[in-house]
Structure 1
Amino acid sequence: MSNPGEQDTTPIESVSQLARLLADGGKPRGLWRIGTEHEKFGFVLPAAAGPARPAWMPPPYAPDGIAEILTDLNRQDGGTRWEAIHDAGNLIGLKGIGPERGGSVSLEPAGQFELSGAPLASLHDTGHEMARHFEAIRPISRSLGVGFAPLGFHPLARRADMPWMPKSRYAIMRNYMPKVGTLGLDMMQRTCTVQVNLDFASEADMLRKLRVSLALQPVTTALFANSPFHEGRPNGFMSNRARIWTDTDTARSGMPDLFFSPSFGFEPYVEWLLDVPMYFVVRDGRILDVAGRSFRAWMKGERQDGLEGLTPTVGDFEDHMTTAFTDVRLKRFLEMRGADAGSPEMMLAMSALWVGLLYDDAALAAADALVREQDWAHYVALRAAVPRAGLDAPWVGGTLRELTARMVEIAVQGLRARAVTDGTGRDESHLLAPLQEIAAGGPTQAERWLERYHGAWKGDVTHIFSEAAV
């Protein structure tokens, strides 16, 4: 959402005005960029544990927790990299400046620490940014007795064990989520994801990329599955995070049939989004609770409790776009949202996968042809199957692993065709090596953890924190 003081206050006049807002996001190929966002759970190290901060549990906001990590990160390098973001006087994020311009650090509801990476030209740059972030937070967090582990669902904590961050938006969602699904609070507090944000050139280019990526998103869910535990024990799922999303808020999530309609485009998307119930609006630096209200009715001038006397603006709509949680989200770019957070190598491979599939014309054509081999309904059904079955989900007489191998190979060819090399002359395709290994029959992250749980860990899931730590 917009930071305080950054909202576009232009009044909304029409649906076509909002569609143009999306269309204006189109860029020529030379300006296409890669923005990677990744989340991770904080955990208290045993040596620093005590009655108020049990070992392996998430740290509080304060004291000796998330607020201090943000404060110290903001002070690094003499404050030349980050600016503080406050909400009602609480430090809740950092905005990148100088060498970090375009990026931000933010907090998910239970203190999951997120880097929203800057728009970068290459995956090599993404890898450097990710490594720089981990190197920056590691000494700060360790001095406070805190570690970080990127996993799809918290493997140990109960919902009651998770703290709440002092962000006004989350207080609104916390109240609203139980009204529209049974697992929304788990989504907020106990999940972590990784996503990549990619550009499009035009409405037609957006449509092709959206449909390919939305159809293949369940494959990504299975490939990156990394949440097989619930409160210390196996949960029967490869991606419990993905299961959580099946009963969070169906009005704003999933794989809407509309997105595959022949008439879909920017205006139909705006029309759909106007009927997604609202969460909040921002006025004078305050976030106002208007959960459940209709943006469409507000635009029409109809009375809406909490919105009296307020004129809807472009900034309001931009904030509203952030409350759509479809598996691929359309804004002025496309967000791939189907993967569990995982190891740094896997999170970088996730970005590499989608860049390889979508940023080369031949690869995009091959991926489009691959998707069109089956009806849209097959992919919707696959989304329901993969949280539990992962890559063993049935697919066209075999398992999903066969489709995965074809998808990954297309991405490899796409990255080779991009021919963007690092200082050693390597192109970006080597970043897909972890996915090639899995597609060839190797274990996913979830399968590897389960093997460790039943073997070397002897049923003690707490070992996952030290082994997954970044």
Structure 2
Amino acid sequence: MSGPSQVKDVPIGTGAEGRAQLIDFLASGVRPREDWKIGTEHEKFGFRTDDLRPPAFDGERGIEALLKGLTRFGWAPVEEHGRVIALTRDAASVSLEPAGQLELSGAPLANLHETCCETSRHLQEVRAVAEPMGLGFLGMGFQPKWRRDEMPWMPKGRYKIMREYMPKVGSLGLDMMTRTSTVQVNLDVGSEADMVKKFRVSLALQSIATALFADSPFTEGRPNGYLSYRSHIWTDTDADRTGLLDFVFEDGFGYERYVDYLLDVPMYFVYRDGTYIDASGQSFRDYMDGKLPAYPGQLPTLKDWADHSTTAFPEVRLKKYLEMRGADSGPWNRICALPAFWVGLLYDDTALDAAWDLIKDFSLAELHALRDGVPKHALKLPFRGGTVLDLARRALEISAHGLARRARLNGNGADESIYLEPLMEFVDAGITPAERKLALFHGEWQGDIDRVFRAFAY
């Protein structure tokens, strides 16, 4: 989840003038192709190596101590009420999810080779600090062992507000906050029409990414009946701010329609002078009229709008760029594979056209059937006389060709399609990462979930 935005405090006008400002703000993200970048984010679960419990924020082996330790690599601390809750370096940041899941929000980079090097460097730095502290990190979509009430909470004002609000709007929101981890990629657009096409393709194929990356089959030490339980959790988190966004497929969709959607998403907070003001459930439209009950008589700024945009959690999220949000977290090579999958599909025109041809006649009913069925069945979910595996294979072929055409080569002369190899292996075998872990659990591990921490730690 995001922290306070870095957008300037430009006042938003009232009425039609203010709404036009918001539309222009979103549209200002349009970039020429030569400036398109790749921003990769991933989260991971910390655990104490002696008892496997998640580390608290405080203490010699706590998350704050880990963050302070990382400053020796040139990271600058970010504080909230005197506590270090994030780090920044150049255009990247390290931040905390509600239960201390450690997140790298990578810098906008030119190619996937740079992205993968960035991820590798980060994991090496974390390991250098964490190992002497007796801490390890695990990449999976859902915490495999500990109950919700055994997870710590980080001292961030944003999370306190969300923690109190979530149970009012869904039964799994607190699990989303404390027991899930994801990997996502942020990608640029070249025009409003380009944004619309990419948004539609990525929404339609988001369930395919969920299936390929499915890696959350355990809850509290036992199989939970899902392959991506993380994805299932979003179906009962908060209907006002999650889901497929059917309106994206309607005629006339563009920046204006997305602004109207965001205006109808209930607020969480207003951030002022280092403090989060609880505005949960209130309306940004009222705020624009100076009638926000939590902050009466005050008017919003573009920084408030940017903050508010981070509190919507659809399968694909639009800011000034598009965020792909459908994948479970995983090991190093799948952190690299997620941006590779989407860059191959969306950053090459021929590939984008082929992806559009693949999904253009999918009905909304079919899209919802994919979204609802993939968390449990993943690649084996039936679809149009075949299975999701067939769709995944075709999507990977399109992506690989798109990456080859980009022709961004590393020092060994390999193009970016090398990062798709883990996904190709899953498709060739017809199984997901989750199914491989389940086989180990029922076989070699003899039902001992503790083995997952030792076998799959970074």
Structure 2 residue 26 is matched with structure 1 residue 22? yes
8 A contact 2:400–2:417 mirrored in 1 = yes
Give runs of aligned pairs for residues 312-331 of structure 1, distance below 5 A: 312-331=300-319
Give runs of aligned pairs for residues 12-161 of structure 1, distance below 5 A: 12-13=12-13, 14-46=18-50, 55-63=51-59, 64-76=61-73, 81-96=74-89, 101-161=90-150
Aligned residues: 453
Structure 1 residues 420-462: Cα deviation after superposition (integer angstroms, max 9, x where no partner): 0000100001111111121223431101000000110000011
Classify the secondary structure of the residue corresponding to 1:95.
strand
Match in the other structure for 1:378? 366
8 A contact 2:48–2:135 mirrored in 1 = yes
Give runs of aligned pairs for residues 333-412 of structure 1, distance below 5 A: 333-412=321-400
Structure 2 residue 282 is matched with structure 1 residue 293? yes
> Offset at 1:221?
0.6
Distance in 2 (alpha carbons) for counterparts of 1:442 and 1:366:
23
Match in the other structure for 2:253? 264
Distance 1:234 1:217, change over 3 A: same
> Offset at 1:463?
0.5
> Offset at 1:139?
1.8
Letter aligned with residue 174 of structure 2: L
TM-score using structure 2 length: 0.97
Distance 1:185 1:4, change over 3 A: closer
> Offset at 1:251?
0.5
Classify the secondary structure of the residue corresponding to 1:370.
helix
8 A contact 1:2–1:315 mirrored in 2 = no
Distance in 1 (alpha carbons) for counterparts of 2:276 and 2:395:
42
Structure 1 stretch displaced more, 162-171 or 12-21: 12-21
Classify the secondary structure of the residue corresponding to 1:169.
helix
> Offset at 1:167?
0.5
Classify the secondary structure of the residue corresponding to 2:78.
strand
> Offset at 1:309?
2.8
8 A contact 1:357–1:410 mirrored in 2 = yes
Match in the other structure for 1:241? 230
TM-score using structure 1 length: 0.95
Percent identity reads 53
Distance in 1 (alpha carbons) for counterparts of 2:413 and 2:247:
44
Structure 2 residue 451 is matched with structure 1 residue 463? yes
Consecutive unaligned residues of structure 1, counting only runs of 5 or more, are 47-54
Consecutive unaligned residues of structure 2, counting only runs of 5 or more, are none
CA RMSD between the two structures: 1.2
> Offset at 1:7?
4.4
8 A contact 2:292–2:298 mirrored in 1 = no
8 A contact 1:195–1:337 mirrored in 2 = yes
